[in-house]
Amino acid sequence: MYLGTTNPARGMCVCVCVGLPVVLPRLPSCVVGVGIDGGNEKDWEANAGKITLIKKKGKVKALDEEVNKQQDIDLDIEFDVHLGIAHTRWATHGEPNPVNSHPQRSDKNNEFIVIHNGIITNYKDLKKFLESKGYEFESETDTETIAKLVKYMYDNCESDDISFTTLVERVIQQLEGAFALVFKSVHYPGQAVGTRRGSPLLIGVRSEHKLSTDHIPILYRTGKDKKGTCSLSRMDSTTCLFPVEEKAVEYYFASDASAVIEHTNRVIFLEDDDVAAVVEGRLSIHRIKRTAGDHPGRAVQTLQMELQQIMKGNFSSFMQKEIFEQPESVVNTMRGRVNFDDYTVNLGGLKDHIKEIQRCRRLILIACGTSYHAGVATRQVLEELTELPVMVELASDFLDRNTPVFRDDVCFFISQSGETADTLMALRYCKERGALTVGITNTVGSSISRETDCGVHINAGPEIGVASTKAYTSQFVSLVMFALMMCDDRISMQERRKEIMRGLKLLPGSIKEVLSMDDEIQKLATELYQQKSVLIMGRGYHYATCLEGALVSILLNPQPPHQLGRETLLVPWGGEYSG
């Protein structure tokens, strides 16, 4: 996060931590940390060359308490330009303790710090190289490798005036895997650099004044630049974003829009290998090289999201809140698309491609987890109404098999976030083979929604809880609507279409009836959670319900289930029940 307004360090800590609770419900074991400018000096210039790291295991409240205990930093010093970064990360590498938490640092002087979402697959090779150069590691994380690599690049650069952007570009050329990164450095006070590949990253923009542009062009290396740096020669309204008349501006780097909505609804979605830099309050976006199909710029978009959508309200958990939102979320999925009076369905994102889809050879539904189960749940009705063969594929297995895909196939990619790594890789695999690609997502501006040829936004609203609830039901309804649209002109299907549409009309009321049994379900749950295992059985349309029920049990319960057969799952039950 970058602030171009006068603000005390205490205010920055509060500001960067505001979005963290939105992510925490999805993390079973995590640590939180923040890196901000400052020390004990009494003026901004003296503090600008210092970075303080504060880390704590547990919730954001624990981090907030730790911040207020700090003795070596004056939280009341005001900064004209202030940058703070904070992150929650599940312990994918090493134990969930403060040493392994983010931000990770390059050295004990905190010359460079970085936060990271994703996994670096070649970090062991990079770590071995850096250790051979004398760099000592203190954590078990892959991210520390990035922090030390950028310091190595800085220590060995050919020029003293190398830009922060150039350093980051050189670093990401050495990285393999998925990442969204934000960097901060004492050598570049007041500057922030963010980049992504395979993991989402967006930038929220907040200013009370008019911005110089609503479309930021991409900057590429100039041919004259022998050092391989990015040209920053034209920092004006044609190449970067800033408030007119040099007024105050705030930039928020985040992996999810729900983390910034409290501050702003204007965002810029970065694409793979974009490098976004904030220098002197101006935002510019760079790429190392130009490739075919590159969009010339990134637009400032307005989020259609309200703050209350990401607040728990009177519910005990986000998951409980989202369960009770399902009557409304399925209505939102159908709103403006289903006309129950004349039995018609219109999915605007597919209407230009529906004829091509009707002529295809087969439908392939590709997804992971809950989204895969939504595909399994609707396969039977899709086959019935489209009279086409329907394959439902787990994205990772689909890729491992190098599954044959042809130009007359239509491939659906189902993902709540629109950023599921295996599903995104499968999408690119299918595009290379010429298949028509369709996205079913819940996130506007996500990678899958941008890279598919067409698609459906399920419009379920933000989903924050550990296990998917309303996204699953909205994905189910979206795929059923697609099936209804496909057979709109088939006389033999009309009665069946009407029957299904009457069922859709009754669906919100049916969900409300189930939710009214909350007390009875709570009583049943208190009995079940003491059992050693639970059998979940079903077939036909309910097979997917068994799969999803088992998955939810896994996510909320430490013991894995045992699959006894194609239609039976044994779920060991234990631990404290949480509604």
The region that residue 252 occupies, defined by phi over 0 for left and psi between -120 and 50 for alpha, beta otherwise, is: beta
Candidate ranges 107-121, 222-236, 367-381; pick with highest mean pLDDT:
367-381
Q: Does the pLDDT value for residue 318 go beyond 50? A: yes
Across 15-33, average pLDDT = 53
Q: Does the pLDDT value for residue 403 go beyond 90? A: yes
Across 552-569, average pLDDT = 61
Across 25-45, average pLDDT = 60
Q: Does the pLDDT value for residue 575 go beyond 50? A: no
What is residue 6's predicted lDDT score, i.e. its pLDDT?
A: 52
Domain spans, the chain: 12-309, 312-557
Q: Residue 53 — pLDDT band, cuts 50, 70, 90?
A: confident
What is residue 560's predicted lDDT score, i.e. its pLDDT?
A: 52
Residues 6 or more apart from 395 whose CB is under 8 A from it?
A: 366, 367, 368, 372, 420, 422, 423, 425, 426
What is residue 336's predicted lDDT score, i.e. its pLDDT?
A: 94
Q: Which CATH number fits domain 312-557: 3.40.50.10490, 3.50.50.60, 3.40.50.10860, 3.40.50.300?
A: 3.40.50.10490
What is residue 27's predicted lDDT score, i.e. its pLDDT?
A: 46
Any idea which of 216-220, 263-267, 572-576 has the lowest mean pLDDT?
572-576
Torsion of CA 222, 226, 228, 232, to 10 degrees: -50
Any idea which of 51-60, 332-341, 496-505 has the lowest mean pLDDT?
51-60
Candidate ranges 261-265, 392-396, 570-574; pick with highest mean pLDDT:
392-396
Q: Does the pLDDT value for residue 102 go beyond 70? A: yes
Q: Does the pLDDT value for residue 45 go beyond 60? A: no
Distances from the Cα of 578 to the Cα of 69, 116, 319, 327, 529, angstroms: 32, 30, 10, 22, 9
Q: Residue 532 — pLDDT band, cuts 50, 70, 90?
A: confident
Encode pLDDT of 168-212 as tens digits. 999 999 999 989 999 999 999 889 999 999 888 999 998 877 777
- CATH number 3.60.20.10 given to 12-309: yes
Encode pLDDT of 270-296 as tens digits. 988 999 999 888 899 999 888 777 788
Contact 90, 23 (CB under 8 A): no
What is residue 290's predicted lDDT score, i.e. its pLDDT?
A: 81
Token duo for residue 88: 């929650």
Q: Does the pLDDT value for residue 573 go beyond 80? A: no
Same fold, 12-309 and 312-557: no
Encode pLDDT of 448-502 as tens digits. 999 999 999 999 998 888 789 999 999 999 999 999 999 998 999 999 999 999 9
What is residue 258's predicted lDDT score, i.e. its pLDDT?
A: 80
Q: Does the pLDDT value for residue 55 go beyond 70? A: yes
What is residue 472's predicted lDDT score, i.e. its pLDDT?
A: 96
What is residue 223's predicted lDDT score, i.e. its pLDDT?
A: 52
What is residue 558's predicted lDDT score, i.e. its pLDDT?
A: 56
Token duo for residue 310: 């990401």
Round to whole Å and give the CA distance between 400 and 381: 28
Token duo for residue 263: 């501050």
What is residue 440's predicted lDDT score, i.e. its pLDDT?
A: 97
Residue 474 — φ and ψ, nearest 5°?
-75, -35
What is residue 28's predicted lDDT score, i.e. its pLDDT?
A: 47
Higher pLDDT, 13 or 50: 50
Q: What is the mean pLDDT of the chain?
A: 83
Q: Which helix (H) or strand (E) holds 66?
A: helix 60-69
